[in-house]
Each structure stands twice: as C-alpha cells, then as structure tokens.
C-alpha cells in the first residue's frame, strides 16, 4: 500500500541551529510534494512545493530537497527561532490517483529551545 512517513514525531533543537525534518514515501510515483506548518488549534498553512523534476527549493530560511531515487524529502529551517516551533506536515501528490488528492504524513513537532 502507499505510505508516507515522517520519521520523527518530535524534534528538539537549540535556537540558531538548523532543523532538518525527514519525509519518506513508498510505492508512489510522485508528481510533487508539499510542506505545511500547523500551529496548535489552527489549520495547516502551506510553506513550499517541490516537483518531481526539481532537486531543491528555497524560501527565505526554508529549504526543501526531493530525492526520487531515495524516495525522500528533507525540510531544513536554518537559523531556527522559537517562533518556528510548530508541527510540520509533508504531503505527497502522486500521479495516477484522483487528480487533486494529497496524502499527508503524520507530522513532526518541532520545538526550538531558546
């Protein structure tokens, strides 16, 4: 069956360091992958999208990589700040399925410690 996994349920990191979150998938032929941020009591907010033919995307302190050979995406937050503390979700749009469906990982809760 198709599966998407975020390796860590929780990640603690010191302020100023780079946080790296991992998203792995199996049995997919991906079209693109998205990362979202979710704060407690709120809905997910879109951060970045990376397509299958792209290796890397950047937005300010955020960077996403996509390795279709390893079936893995890495999400980096450089110079992390306490305000970056949130749950981060990856979501995969796979080709061959219902056209507009995303499959979400369970999320990684990031805590940035001052």
Among 69, 83, 96, 98, binds other proteins (CB under 8 A): 98
Among candidate residues 70, 58, 59, 62, the one with its CA nearest the CA of residue 30: 70
| Residue among 13 and 32 whose Cβ is closer to other proteins | 32
Residue 106 in tokens: 């369970």
Residue 113 in tokens: 């410690």
Distances (CA, A) of 35 to 57, 58, 72, 101: 11, 12, 13, 15
Size of the site for other proteins (CB under 8 A): 22
With contacts defined by CB under 8 A, name the span among 13-21, 43-51, 62-70, 72-80 that binds other proteins.
43-51
From the CB of 19, what's the least distance to other proteins, in Å? 20
Neighbours of 75 (CB within 10 A): 24
With contacts defined by CB under 8 A, name the span among 12-20, 21-29, 59-67, 87-95 that binds other proteins.
87-95
Task: Report how far residue 30's alpha carbon sits from residue 42's, in angstroms, rounded to the nearest whole number.
Answer: 28
- Would you count residue 108 as binding other proteins (CB under 8 A)? no
Write out the residues near other proteins by the rule CB under 8 A. 31-32, 34, 41-46, 49, 89, 91, 93, 98-102, 104-107
């Amino acid at each position: 069956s198709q599966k998407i996994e975020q390796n860590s349920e929780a990640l603690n990191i010191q302020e100023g360091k780079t946080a790296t979150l991992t998203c792995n998938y199996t049995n997919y032929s991906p079209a693109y992958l998205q990362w979202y941020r979710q704060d407690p009591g709120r809905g997910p907010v879109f951060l970045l999208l990376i397509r299958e033919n792209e290796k890397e995307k950047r937005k300010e302190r955020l960077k996403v990589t996509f390795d279709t050979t390893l079936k893995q995406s890495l999400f980096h937050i450089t110079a992390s700040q306490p305000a970056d503390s949130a749950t981060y979700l990856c979501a995969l749009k796979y080709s061959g399925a219902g056209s507009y469906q995303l499959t979400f990982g369970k999320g990684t809760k990031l805590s940035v410690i001052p």
